[in-house]
Structure 1
Amino acid sequence: MPAASLTARCINGTICRPFSTHSTNQALRTALFFPGHGVQRIGMISSWAEAFPRTSKSFIDEMDTTLGFPLSKVISDGPNSELNRTENSQPSIMATSILILRILEQEFGFKTTERVDVTLGHSLGEYSALVAGGYLDFTPALRMVRGRAEVMAQCSRRAHQKSGEMYGMVALICEPDHLQSLISAIREFLGPGSMGSKDDSSNEMSSIQQVLIANINSKNQIVLSGSIERIKTLLVQLRQFGGHDPRAVRLKSDSPFHSPIMAPAAQYMRTKLDTTEITFPAKMPCVSNVSAMPFASKENLKDLLSRQCVETVRWWDSIRYLDQERGVKRWIGIGPGKVGRNLVGKEVGRISSKGGGVWAICDPREVEEIMRALEKSEHEDVDNS
């Protein structure tokens, strides 16, 4: 891998520090993060389009032209049944996130490469993070997200047709000091290739019978993915035999993301990434969902981004890595909703600390205030260094 060049970071014309795009010990101060599936809502681009018509119109035209149909109309008008289809919701969320970033850059003069040190995204949000970090161009990334989502939707339909069961995702919330033992108990009950029962595990369980830990989101929340009935069976066993009674919340998804059912999507990504232009090294590090570490090479990126379809999203580990090992103090969430900000804020606790903060840019009315707070925290950080 070629040595990453050193470049000076500037804040309002003041040189602050050099950075290396792929140094493993360089302190990182500002992270840009993006949301994943489930945050979509009708009209989520409307307020941005009204407030910033010049930037929004050209972007929306680019989005619709790239996909070959008016996705913008689905986002603006719905109905929910259409927007919530995986093949529509995922490109909608990704595109909305990048639209907001473009507005920051073009309307507010936000220089991403000068103000941000590292990017990451939750599940689907990883694609937005790769675009923001300069690894992927928006247009091919949007096509790839749409194609991946179409394959995922097909996987879910085939699993339901084959088994007759309902599939989806269930969040489990527990006390923070119980999380590790809960994860251990789940893995013990699931076993290799198990459907969630200690008694009926087998070495070669069909993918449609498996339940997996899809996300480890925070110090007190994980998400299970797979057959809803088998997840219910697992919860009964955890309560009766495992000594755990987590609160279970069914998520707004009829697809078992990050489970073996999505294996065809992983294969689609492997093929697609082999023909997609990837820039590496890019503008800044991007943290992988699968490894909870920055992508190490172009081949590593292609491998981990494909595996993300069927493996656990290690979001909590990613946040802890940046917080505890890399020194990130400022966290900027960009995209629909504030779920990501809440997860990050719960872990790092820097809502108003000097030189730090956690923000969510999801409403145009809040941008100026957030930009002022960010600039203030940057100057405080420089003064303290």
Structure 2
Amino acid sequence: MRAFVFPGQGSQKVGMGAELAAASAAAREVFGEVDEALSQHMSTLMREGPEDELLKTANGQPAIMANAMATLRVLERDFGVRLAEHGACVAGHSLGEYTALCAVGAFGLADTARLLRLRGQAMQEAVPIGEGAMAALLGADMDKAAALAAAAAQGEVCEVANDNDPSQVVISGHRSAIERAVELAKEHGIKRALLLPVSAPFHCSLMAPAADVMAQALETTPPGTLTLPVYANVTAARVTDPEEERELLIKQVTGQVRWRESVAQMHADGAEEFVELGAKVLAPMIGRTVKEAASRSLVTMADLEAFAKEIV
């Protein structure tokens, strides 16, 4: 059993998708459709930058999705590897859950781009720049991270945002609380804590205004039928019902990304191979979570060709 997975925020970089676009009409079609949906030359921004614009969450979220979907389209059209035939389930990290849903037909490509543009804008506007922060805790498990967050909060928001793998947890909240957590980390037995270069405190209760925005958006653009099940971030459980998934996408804005648990559950349900599309971010996390499973990232045309030769 094979799971296809899709990366989240932080995986964008200038030059992303350029090789695929140069080599494949399928990739160019994806980038063109996203450009049209957003009334923006997103493909140019992805290819040429500037980096500070690409890193903005309102740009980064649809860009990451577009790159992953272009990778999938090339895999399917140019190399004959169809998701529905060669995969058993999908999942995505944070915004990657929208990409996963697009990949299994629950959202159209243009709608996914517009939803992620709105999601990025709403998340950025939920907290004034400079008032929120996130930090990665390396060498931390969930118990240590939760204890640290509780100690650092001191009446402010300091919450676990991402449970990425057995050795990496991310916290999110008010900047002063997150900075206290960084200072207190070693006292809590955590090897290292570092502030992340993000523009907002994602996946914590401070994002409630953004959740309200997405609730309205998903009311008018709800997910449709899924051709494969998705494992949802906030429950780490298999979902096939579009209405259930719509509710979970709303909760995801403020909720914890339970990635480690999602990977473990997919593996427990039979996934023996995990294939990441568009970046090399999730595969290393997966390798640390389920060491007996195979994990790989498909980014370049050579990656896609080699994968296709193995399974077709």
TM-score normalised per structure 2: 0.94
Aligned position for 1:108: 79
Contact preservation (8 Å) 1:185, 1:238: no
Aligned residue for 2:210? 265
In structure 1, what is the equivalent of residue 148 of structure 2?
Answer: 186
Alignment of 1:146-225 (within 5 A): 146-156=117-127, 159-160=128-129, 165-174=130-139, 179-186=141-148, 188-189=150-151, 196-197=153-154, 201=155, 209-225=156-172
Q: 3-state DSSP class of the match of 1:62?
A: helix
Q: Deviations over 1:173-211 (max 9, x none)?
A: 11xxx6243034235426xxxxx13xxx3xxxxxxx411
Contact 1:166 1:254 in 2 (8 A): no
Asked if 1 retains the 8 angstrom alpha-carbon contact of 2:34 and 2:109, the reply is no
Q: How does 1:227-306 map to 2 (within 5 A)?
A: 227-240=174-187, 243-280=188-225, 282-295=226-239, 297-306=241-250
2:282 corresponding residue in structure 1 = 340
CA offset digits 1:117-157 (Å, max 9, x no partner): 0000001100011111222121111111111111112223x
Following the alignment from structure 2 to structure 1, what is the Cα–Cα distance between the partners of residues 66 and 184? 41
Matched residue SS, 2:193: strand
Instruction: Quote how far apart the aligned CAs of 1:276 are.
Output: 1.2
Residue 263 of structure 2: aligned partner: 319
| CA distance, structure 1, for counterparts of residue 177 and residue 191 of structure 2 | 16
Matches within 5 A, 1:126-141: 126-141=97-112
Q: What is the one-letter code of the residue matched to 2:306?
A: E
- For 1:358 and 1:239, the matched residues in 2 are separated by 31
In the other structure, the counterpart of 1:12 is none
Pair 1:31-2:9 in alignment: no
Which protein has the larger Cα radius of gyration, Structure 1 or Structure 2?
1
| Offset from partner CA, 1:79-106 (integer Å, 9 cap, x none) | 1111111111110001111011011111
The count of corresponding residues between Structure 1 and Structure 2 is 312
Letter in 2 for 1:189: A
Q: Which amino acid letter does the alignment assign opposite residue 112 of structure 2? A: A
- What are the ranges of 5 or more consecutive residues in structure 2 without an aligned counterpart? none
CA contact (8 A) 2:186 2:192 kept: no
1:329 to 264, 272, 275: 272
Q: What is the rounded CA distance, in whole Å, between the counterparts of 1:245 and 1:217 in structure 2?
A: 15
The 1:102/1:317 distance shift into structure 2, 3 A limit, reads: same
1:322 is displaced (CA, Å) by 1.0
Which residue in 2 is equivalent to 1:49? 21
CA contact under 8 A between 1:169 and 1:254: conserved in structure 2?
A: no
Query: 1:365 corresponds to which residue?
Result: 302
Change (3 A) 1:98 1:332: same
CA contact (8 A) 1:258 1:312 kept: yes
Q: Aligned partners of 2:146, 2:32: CA distance in 1, in Å? A: 48
Check the 8 A contact 1:259/1:310 in 2, yes or no. yes
**Whole-angstrom CA distance in 2 between matches of 1:104 and 1:296:** 24
Structure 1 residues 62 and 235, CA gap change in structure 2 (3 angstroms): closer
Query: Which structure 1 residue ranges, 5 or more long, are not aligned?
Result: 1-28, 191-195, 202-208, 351-355, 376-385
1:59 to partner: Cα distance: 2.1
Give a deviation string over 1:232-278, Cα, whole Å, max 9, x none.
213444544xx423311222312111122211211111111111142
SS at 1:308 equivalent: helix
Which whole-Å CA distance do the structure 1 matches of 2:118 and 2:74 have between them? 26
Does the aligned pair in 2 maintain the 1:31–1:330 contact within 8 Å?
Answer: yes
Work out whether residues 138 and 190 of structure 2, in 8 Å CA contact, stay in contact via their aligned partners in 1. no
